[in-house]
């Protein structure tokens, strides 16, 4: 008789040996989501144990710039202090346009309603935020301002739907150390308030009882498998699966030829696999953030992005993740930037691109690059005709970035994935991380395919399908913002079980 397949990610609680450890709330992963969940659960009175696979906490959140996408409620304290207003409805309108039918309306509303308070919570940890904005087109301010535009707010079609407001909040320090600053302040508070942390502890499996309730985990600590009971809840906050080649091949195979994984080494999808094994549903698994950071310098935005047919496909003033999404849709992901000499400077975040053609005329560039004869010339002629009047009727690039390309020499630079090497990437390709995971309620409770809650199981951060659902609408700050905000909600809800049942 065939034996049932053994699922390594879940074990029968009834068969578990004597537990080595126990807590009311057990958290798997001590990155941004896990630390926020731990602090809120602890503050609500729960005994909390965090298990972390690495030698210390931080995860991808500590590697990040820690831009958080926050606003609404009249404005965060930082927005208001520098004279900016931001209504919740304006933020919701923007976020809905970002994710369209892939967005989760309830999650968007909950986030927009709570984001300003979330800023206060983060600042109260001791994370410094300077009351100053950097409003030029960039990715991260390398000076010490704490507010910037991090998405498509000023670009078409978003600028027709919502009032553009800068919502990227970043810790203040020259350079790019926001994630480290945030996680240091957060972990110091978590530990000072009495959360127990066990590092070098890889969670291997969930313990689930015969009724379907999650009762704890099995973790490998110092080479020994330990049963750890969670009398109230387990929260999975183990990041996404961008470092797991087999999972990418299965769930997001289309990005593999052109994406370059961006994250910490333990973004192996363990949390997602455990949640699935316990009966959780997974959604949005084929979606990834894709970076096409051809800027800064901002003045490259005067150029034209074209595909292998010499045709434009996007307004060039869009945010890097939207550019990545649309670049990936072009035939063989072949994309080029046509730029005139006066606007040229090397792209800041990339070590290399490929010069596809140069010349004193568009025809010369087109010929050298091997584009179809006349195609690029037609594109530029049409663009220039309207640029004379500061208009872009095809893609609606904002007027400040529109001017005729009529000052040779010109260059056509290939930003096709195989020609692009980021400073932070190990190989060529567009930097990427995953946006799919366990389907959860806004409280973090994990849902089955039938929409039922898996008792005792929560998830947050990139282990869950959260606020950001597609690169087309992603803005910097939506992942750390989501992980920290919904991590807190999961911690509160898990502790709510303590209050209700304890």
Ligand X SMILES: Cc1cc2nc3c(=O)[nH]c(=O)nc-3n(C[C@H](O)[C@H](O)[C@H](O)COP(=O)(O)OP(=O)(O)OC[C@H]3O[C@@H](n4cnc5c(N)ncnc54)[C@H](O)[C@@H]3O)c2cc1C
Q: Which stretch binds ligand X (CB under 6 A): 110-118, 159-167, 222-230, 478-486?
A: 478-486
Q: Which stretch binds ligand X (CB under 6 A): 122-130, 279-287, 301-309, 473-481?
A: 473-481
CA of residue 32 relative to chain centroid, distance: 12
Q: Does residue 476 bind ligand X (CB under 6 A)?
A: yes
Q: DSSP characters for 392-453?
A: -TTT---GGG-----SS-EEEEE--GGG-EETT-SSSSEEEEE--EE-B-TT-EEE-TTS-E
H/E stretch holding 379: helix 375-387
Q: Does residue 53 bind ligand X (CB under 6 A)?
A: yes
In terms of CB distance, is 271 or 357 closer to ligand X?
271
Tell me the closest approach of the beta carbon of residue 484 to ligand X, in angstroms: 8
Closest residue by beta carbon to ligand X: 31
Q: Does residue 433 bind ligand X (CB under 6 A)?
A: yes
Q: Does residue 72 bind ligand X (CB under 6 A)?
A: no
In three-state secondary structure terms, 192 is helix
Q: Does residue 145 bind ligand X (CB under 6 A)?
A: no
Q: Which stretch binds ligand X (CB under 6 A): 18-26, 121-129, 382-390, 472-480?
A: 472-480
Tell me the closest approach of the beta carbon of residue 288 to ligand X, in angstroms: 11
Q: Which stretch binds ligand X (CB under 6 A): 80-88, 184-192, 256-264, 357-365?
A: 256-264
Write out the two tokens for 436.
Answer: 């799919």
Using CB atoms within 10 A of its CB, is residue 284 exposed (0-12), middle (13-18) or buried (19+)?
A: buried
The helix-helix angle for 105-124 and 478-501 (nearest 10°) equals 90
| 397, 156 contact by CB (below 8 A) | yes
Write out the two tokens for 457.
Answer: 């199981």
Write out the two tokens for 358.
Answer: 């140069």
In terms of CB distance, is 4 or 223 closer to ligand X?
223
Q: Using the 8-state DSSP alphabet, how is residue 463 labeled? A: G
Name which of residues 11 to 50 contact ligand X (CB under 6 A). 28-34
Q: Which of 39, 42, 61, 457 binds ligand X (CB under 6 A)?
A: 61
Q: Which of 169, 202, 215, 326 binds ligand X (CB under 6 A)?
A: 202
| Interatomic CA distance for residues 36 and 489, integer angstroms | 9
Tell me the closest approach of the beta carbon of residue 22 to ligand X, in angstroms: 17
In terms of CB distance, is 379 or 442 closer to ligand X?
442
In three-state secondary structure terms, 115 is helix
Tell me the closest approach of the beta carbon of residue 66 to ligand X, in angstroms: 5
Q: How crowded is residue 355: how many other Cβ atoms within 10 Å of its Cβ?
A: 12
Cis status, amide bond into 296, omega within 30 of 0: yes
Q: Does residue 266 bind ligand X (CB under 6 A)?
A: yes
Q: Does residue 171 bind ligand X (CB under 6 A)?
A: no
| Interatomic CA distance for residues 385 and 388, integer angstroms | 6
- Per-residue binder mask for ligand X (CB under 6 A), 211-250, x = binder: --------------------------xxx-----------
Q: Does residue 473 bind ligand X (CB under 6 A)?
A: no
φ, ψ for residue 284 (rounded to 5)? 65, 20
Number of residues engaging ligand X in binding (CB under 6 A): 42
Handedness of CA 432, 425, 328, 304 (dihedral sign): positive
Tell me the closest approach of the beta carbon of residue 427 to ligand X, in angstroms: 15
Strand partners for 348: none
What is the 3 state secondary structure string of 408-421? CCEEEEECCHHHCE
Tell me the closest approach of the beta carbon of residue 150 to ligand X, in angstroms: 8
Q: Does residue 366 bind ligand X (CB under 6 A)?
A: no
Q: Does residue 64 bind ligand X (CB under 6 A)?
A: yes
Q: Which of 63, 221, 298, 453 binds ligand X (CB under 6 A)?
A: 63
Q: Which of 21, 38, 65, 494 binds ligand X (CB under 6 A)?
A: 65
Tell me the closest approach of the beta carbon of residue 183 to ligand X, in angstroms: 8
In terms of CB distance, is 29 or 103 closer to ligand X?
29
In terms of CB distance, is 202 or 232 closer to ligand X?
202
In terms of CB distance, is 63 or 277 closer to ligand X?
63
In three-state secondary structure terms, 473 is helix
Q: Which of 166, 263, 324, 444 binds ligand X (CB under 6 A)?
A: 263
Name the CA radius of gyration of the chain, rounded: 24
Tell me the closest approach of the beta carbon of residue 102 to ligand X, in angstroms: 17
| 108, 99 contact by CB (below 8 A) | yes
Q: Does residue 477 bind ligand X (CB under 6 A)?
A: yes
Strand (E) positions, 124-246? 133-134, 147-148, 168-169, 196-198, 201-208, 214-221, 224-236
Using CB atoms within 10 A of its CB, is residue 94 exposed (0-12), middle (13-18) or buried (19+)?
A: buried
In terms of CB distance, is 169 or 312 closer to ligand X?
169
Positions touching ligand X (CB under 6 A) are: 28-34, 51-54, 57-61, 63-67, 202-203, 237-239, 262-264, 266, 270, 424, 433, 461-462, 476-481, 483
């Amino acid at each position: 008789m065939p034996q049932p397949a053994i699922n390594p990610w879940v074990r029968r609680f009834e068969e578990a040996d004597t537990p080595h450890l126990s807590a009311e709330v057990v958290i798997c992963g001590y990155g941004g989501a896990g630390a926020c969940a731990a602090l809120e659960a602890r503050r609500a009175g729960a005994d909390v144990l965090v298990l972390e696979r690495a030698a210390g906490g931080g995860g991808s959140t500590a590697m990040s710039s820690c831009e958080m996408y926050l606003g609404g409620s009249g404005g965060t304290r930082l927005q208001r202090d520098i004279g900016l207003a931001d209504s919740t409805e304006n933020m919701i309108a923007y976020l809905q346009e970002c994710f369209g039918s892939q967005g989760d309306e309830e999650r968007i509303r909950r986030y927009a309603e709570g984001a300003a308070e979330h800023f206060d919570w983060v600042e109260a940890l001791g994370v410094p935020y300077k009351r100053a904005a950097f409003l030029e087109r960039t990715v991260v301010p390398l000076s010490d301002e704490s507010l910037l535009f991090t998405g498509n707010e000023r670009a078409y079609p978003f600028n027709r739907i919502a009032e553009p407001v800068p919502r990227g909040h970043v810790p203040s320090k020259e350079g790019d150390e926001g994630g480290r600053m945030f996680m240091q302040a957060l972990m110091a508070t978590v530990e000072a308030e009495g959360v127990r942390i066990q590092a070098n502890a890889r969670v291997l499996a969930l313990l689930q009882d015969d009724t379907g309730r999650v009762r704890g985990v099995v973790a490998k600590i110092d080479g020994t498998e330990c049963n750890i009971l969670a009398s109230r809840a387990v929260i999975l906050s183990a990041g996404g699966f961008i470092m797991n080649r087999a999972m990418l091949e299965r769930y997001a195979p289309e990005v593999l030829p052109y994406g370059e994984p961006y994250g910490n080494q333990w973004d192996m999808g363990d949390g997602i696999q455990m949640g699935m094994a316990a009966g959780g549903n997974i959604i949005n698994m084929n979606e990834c953030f894709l970076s096409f950071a051809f800027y800064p310098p901002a003045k490259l935005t005067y150029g034209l992005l074209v595909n292998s047919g010499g045709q434009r496909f996007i307004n060039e003033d869009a945010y890097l993740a939207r550019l990545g999404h649309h670049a990936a849709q072009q035939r063989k992901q072949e994309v080029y930037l046509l730029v005139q000499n006066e606007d040229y400077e090397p792209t800041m975040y990339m070590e290399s691109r490929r010069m596809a053609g140069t010349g004193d005329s568009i025809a010369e560039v087109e010929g050298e690059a091997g584009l179809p004869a006349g195609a690029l010339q037609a594109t530029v002629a049409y663009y220039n005709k309207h640029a004379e009047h500061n208009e872009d009727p095809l893609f609606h690039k904002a007027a400040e970035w529109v001017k005729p390309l009529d000052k040779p020499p010109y260059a056509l630079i290939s930003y096709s994935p195989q020609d692009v090497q980021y400073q932070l990437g190990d190989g060529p390709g567009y930097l990427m991380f995953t946006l799919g995971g366990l389907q959860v309620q806004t409280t973090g409770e994990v849902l089955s395919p039938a929409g039922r809650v898996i008792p005792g199981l929560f998830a947050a951060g990139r282990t869950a399908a959260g606020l950001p659902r597609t690169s087309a609408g992603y803005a910097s700050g939506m992942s750390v913002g989501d992980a920290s905000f919904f991590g807190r909600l999961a911690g509160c809800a898990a502790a709510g079980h303590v209050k209700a049942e304890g």
